[in-house]
Amino acid sequence: MAEAGRICVTGAGGFVASWAVKLLLSQNYVVHGTVRGPGDEKNAHLKKLDKAPENLKLFKAELLDYDSLFASIKGCDGVFHVASPVPSTSVPNPEARIVELIQPAANGTLNVLKACSEAGIKRVIYVSSGAAVSLNPSWPKGQVKDESCWSDKDYCRATNNWYCLSKTEAESKAFEYAKGSGLDVVSVCPTLVFGPMLQSTINSSSLVLIKLLKEGYTSLENKLRMTVDVRDVAEALLLVYNKPEAEGRYICTAHMVKAQELVEKLKSIYPDYNYPKRQVIPSAFTEVRDEEHLSSEKLQRLGWSYRPLEETLVDSVESIKEAGLLN
């Protein structure tokens, strides 16, 4: 079958990116995947994907190394920029957070976009986050947040939400660059991403489920979670890439569920795990965040749909079990 096109996926070994690579290969795209170590065991799953031997090329690249990015992107039609720094354990001061998260996210994104301009890329899909939408205390109370809402950078700093700040900073810089350069950039902003893992390493959102199943917390804050399936995120990326009318930002979320409801759903299917002993009412700050209802209406108008929450939870848990992470 004829090649559908060539797409570079940055951070190809990660949770969302791996599913994007799998989907693209299934649709007869040739994929250039950037990873830090093409020979590393943690990227071995990519080489086992259907059509990978013929259509997947892994490139050693770093977000802050422009030349390595350009070499990966050259010859492609489009780019899915998925790679992003993920918060490590607590860092004692804001300056360290800026160095660890915010500068690599923003500067790395600009490197990718500059390489895209030089390589003549037709469209860039930037994977941002619902975190770049939701933290805005001046948004009208009770009003559902759409793509016109941006997280307030000063509020992110004041509340130590460094991941939110890094995603907001990087996405806003991406659109600034697009406006100045004429590069076609579209962003997708997923919320908390669940679903089966292709990779062998644990990603931060799958860890949320693992902890609910095995940590046996004495109590758990009953806060709102906005979730989406990783496979539906991958579908969203390809959808906005292929729709000529797609523009700007697209919130990607499917289900709003309180922590208690999530635990009860899991218990009804998997009764024998070490669930939290009791739920506690959210703090005042969490209640403010619980008003952050985001809408995927714009993405759905483009033709996107999502699977039931129960399907996502079952496939997530079965994947975690298969990986031996609940022993």
Question: In the chain, what are the domains?
Answer: 5-195+226-254+293-306 (3.40.50.720)
Q: Are the beta carbons of 63 and 69 closer than 8 angstroms?
A: yes
Give the pLDDT confidence score for residue 221 in this predicted structure.
Answer: 87
Q: 167 catalytic, yes or no?
A: yes
Neighbour count for residue 181 (Cβ, 10 Å): 13
Longest dimension (CA), the chain: 57
Of residues 167, 316, 155, 184, the one with CA closest to residue 248: 184
Q: Are the beta carbons of 84 and 163 closer than 8 angstroms?
A: no
Strand 255-258 with 224-229, pairing: antiparallel
CA distance 41 to 58: 13
- Of the candidates 167, 211, 223, 277, the residue annotated as catalytic is 167
Give the pLDDT confidence score for residue 99 in this predicted structure.
Answer: 63
Sign of the Cα torsion 312, 164, 98, 285 reads negative
Q: With both helix axes pointing from N to C terminus, report the angle between 259-269 and 204-214 in degrees, rounded to the nearest 10.
A: 70
pLDDT tens digit at each of 327 positions of the chain: 778 999 999 999 999 999 999 999 999 999 999 999 999 999 999 999 999 999 999 999 999 999 999 999 999 999 999 998 665 545 556 666 666 677 778 899 999 999 999 999 999 999 999 999 999 999 998 899 999 999 999 999 898 888 899 999 999 999 999 999 999 999 999 999 999 999 999 999 999 999 999 988 888 888 889 999 999 999 999 999 999 999 999 999 999 999 999 999 999 999 999 998 887 766 544 444 545 689 999 999 999 999 999 999 999 999 999 999 887
CA distance 59 to 54: 15
Triad 276, 277, 279: Cα angle to 5°: 80
CA distance 239 to 3: 18
DSSP 34-53: EES-TT-GGGHHHHTSTTHH
Give the pLDDT confidence score for residue 285 in this predicted structure.
Answer: 44
Amino acid at residue number 315: D
CA distance 289 to 160: 14
